[in-house]
Amino acid sequence: MNPFDEIAVEEAVRLKEKKIAQEIVAVSCGPAQSQETLRTALAMGVDRGIHVEVSGPEYDTLQPIHVSKILAKLAQDEKADIVIVGKQAIDDDSNQTAQMTAALLDWPQATFASKIEKQNGELQVTREIDGGLETIKVKLPAVVSADLRLNEPRYATLPNIMKAKKKPIKKVSPKDLGVDTAARIEVLSVEDPPTRQAGVILPDVDQLIVKLKEGGHVQ
């Protein structure tokens, strides 16, 4: 499981433990192996899972916009009050799903959350920004993305791992949800960056200037 998603799952479980949430539904989009990720979430305390089956070439070109449409449709079908996701992917570092899901649902969003509290039917969220911390309030329903310091995910205990095997996982396809996952981009090529040349130690500034001139860096 993506570490940020693991933090999101942990926060959902904590919200249920505080009686703020009643039921937690985990969603994973991908091939058959995605069920293992869902079982991990179930062992952490999630009530049930939904596996959106996407495999083969369709999975290779699955983009955040597709996942956002899937999550938005499921949030509506499940009558969810909060959608919590990890702040970004760890393969391509995309940081788009939470924002696009909120836009599709027309819900307020609280991204990069490092603290979540419920006050008077609203969420007070502390966000990590470049200049420090920002505290905002959002009305429910809302979309939240989890940052690294939101919590420390728990380890799934053996009894909970065994219980997770009995918890339900529903299988659906993007087509069942009315979501078109046709590729919107085409990967033209993937190349390694050029190999860096080894550095050299020069005895003095004069030699440095000579080297720079030889390399065409100075005239």
Full pLDDT tens readout for the chain, 219 residues: 999 999 999 999 999 999 999 999 999 999 999 999 999 999 999 999 999 999 888 998 999 999 999 999 999 999 999 999 999 998 888 999 999 999 999 999 999 999 999 988 899 999 999 989 999 999 999 999 999 999 999 999 999 999 999 999 999 999 999 999 998 888 899 899 999 888 888 899 989 998 888 888 887
- In whole angstroms, what is the distance from residue 138 CA to residue 123 CA? 5
Q: What is the predicted pLDDT for the residue at 23?
A: 97
- Rounded to whole angstroms, how far apart are CA atoms 108 and 151? 22
Please give the CATH superfamily to which domain 3-185 belongs: HUPs (3.40.50.620)
Q: Which residue has the tokens 């499921």?
A: 74
Task: Return the residue matching tokens 């550095």.
Answer: 199
Tokens of 132: 């420090």
Are 205 and 218 within 8 A, CB to CB?
Answer: no
Interatomic CA distance for residues 186 and 172, integer angstroms: 26
Residue-range domain boundaries for the chain? 3-185
Helices marked H in 57-202: 57-60, 64-77, 97-105, 158-164
- Where does the chain have alpha helices with state H? 3-17, 34-44, 57-60, 64-77, 97-105, 158-164, 205-214
* Residue 21: Cβ within 10 Å count: 19
